[in-house]
A and B are shown apart, each in its own frame.
Chain A
Amino acid sequence: MAAPPGYHDAVQLARSATRELDEESASWLRRLASAASAERQAAERELHNRLLRIALTEVRRRSASTQVTGPELDDVAHQAAGDAMLAILAKLTEFRGDSRFITWAYRFVILEVSSKLGRHYWRNPPVALDAAQWERFPDRLGLDPHQHAEAAGILAEVRHVVDTELTDHQRQIFVAIVVDGIPLTALAEKLGLQRNAIYKVIFDARRKIRRALVAKGYLDEPGAGQR
């Protein structure tokens, strides 16, 4: 892979701005930014092999929570390693030595695996985006079915608050994630939103629901049980 003009100088500048690197990290940076193409290409091959090994391990670690199986899982790993490699080389000048270089690099491939598996979810989704399977909510929440009346009461209260207190956007996301159990990463991919945006909606919705249930006397004020 050819380095763009001025690239080696940029990496050197970035290195001078970083904190003192451990020997291994300094070696990675030096070799990946080397003006000698043979040395640089050898380092790129070595890094890619390590990223691929991590990606293959990671897709298997996540295999229980994805419908992707067999050779397709390996394809995801290869794509993740390739895309992570491109991102790492493009962002090499941003490495500041806050961690070991290899840990910084592995973060890219782990996030690539996560994102790619999230995207695959929609090829054969077990539940539609707007299914709203409220009848499964007590199970998802982990409510004790032996306390049936109480569980039904909780379901009715939460559903009422969701229907009346949340905005349409909050309700759509809360129902998709919490009620229907759609993985957060998959929903983010589907709606074209950052994962953080989805998380923030759920975070705010929880607080809103809690406040409403406290106001109704259904739950205690925060900290009341600790007095």
Chain B
Amino acid sequence: MTNRETLERFLQTDPRDVGCGEAIAVLHVYVDLIAAGRDAADRYPGVAAHLAACGPCGDDFAGLLAAVTSEQAEG
């Protein structure tokens, strides 16, 4: 990747991005869909766009998904 492409990627914003507030408000619903094997990103594309772009919300998502799936794995 060239430096200009790196800069392009850094400056990229997704107009579907719903922001932290809306993403966190439905995070539990989003995670349950994934845990159930459903396509959460298809149902909530704006949330998917946000979680991909926002480090802290992405981290919260990863933590909640890990919590739920680890319990599923334990049965």
Q: Is the CB of B64 within 8 A of A150?
A: no
State whether A199 touches B59 (Cβ < 8 A): no
In the bound complex, residues from chain B placing their C-beta under 8 Å from that of A58 are 63, 66-67
The minimal Cβ–Cβ distance linking B60 to chain A, given in whole angstroms, is 5
- CB of A113 within 8 Å of the partner chain: yes
Q: Using a CB-CB cutoff of 8 Å, which residues 163-205 of chain A contact chain B?
A: 183-185, 194-196, 199-200, 203
B18 → chain A, closest Cβ, in Å?
Answer: 10
B71 to chain A minimum Cβ distance, whole angstroms, is 8
| B interface majority secondary structure | helix
Docked CA distance A207–B64 (Å): 30
Q: Which residues of B (31-75) have their CB < 8 Å from a CB of A? A: 31-32, 35, 54-57, 59-60, 62-64, 66-68, 70-71
Name the residue on B nearest A51 (C-beta). B67
Asked whether, in the complex, the Cβ of A147 is within 8 Å of the Cβ of B8, the reply is no
Pick from B64, B67, B71 the residue with the most CB of A within 10 Å.
B67
Encoded as 1 (CB less than 8 Å from any A CB) or 0, chain B from 8 to 39 comes to: 10111100010111001011110110010000
Selected from A144, A150, A184, the residue in CB contact (under 8 A) with B55 is: A184
Contact A147 B2 (CB under 8 A): yes
Q: Which residues of A contact B2 (CB under 8 A)?
A: 144, 147, 150
Please, which residues of chain A bring their CB within 8 A of the CB of B71?
102
Is the Cβ of A144 less than 8 Å from the Cβ of B3?
yes
Tell whether A110 is near chain B: CB-to-CB under 8 Å: yes
Checking B6, B13, B32 against A103 with a beta-carbon cut-off of 8 angstroms, the contacting residue is B32
Nearest Cβ distance between residue A143 and chain B, in whole angstroms? 5
- Shortest Cβ distance from B7 into A: residue: A154
- Decide yes or no: A143 and B20 within 8 Å by CB, A99-B28, A114-B56, A203-B13 being known contacts: no
Within 8 A of B (CB), among A102-141: 102-104, 106-107, 110-111, 113-114, 141
Measured CA separation A99–B35 after assembly (Å): 11
Using a CB–CB cutoff of 8 Å, the interface residues on chain A facing chain B are 54, 57-58, 61-62, 98-100, 102-104, 106-107, 110-111, 113-114, 141-144, 147, 150-151, 154, 158, 183-185, 194-196, 199-200, 203, 206-207, 209-210, 213, 219
A-B contact pairs, 9 of them (CB 8 A): A99-B28, A99-B31, A102-B68, A110-B64, A141-B6, A184-B56, A195-B20, A200-B19, A203-B19
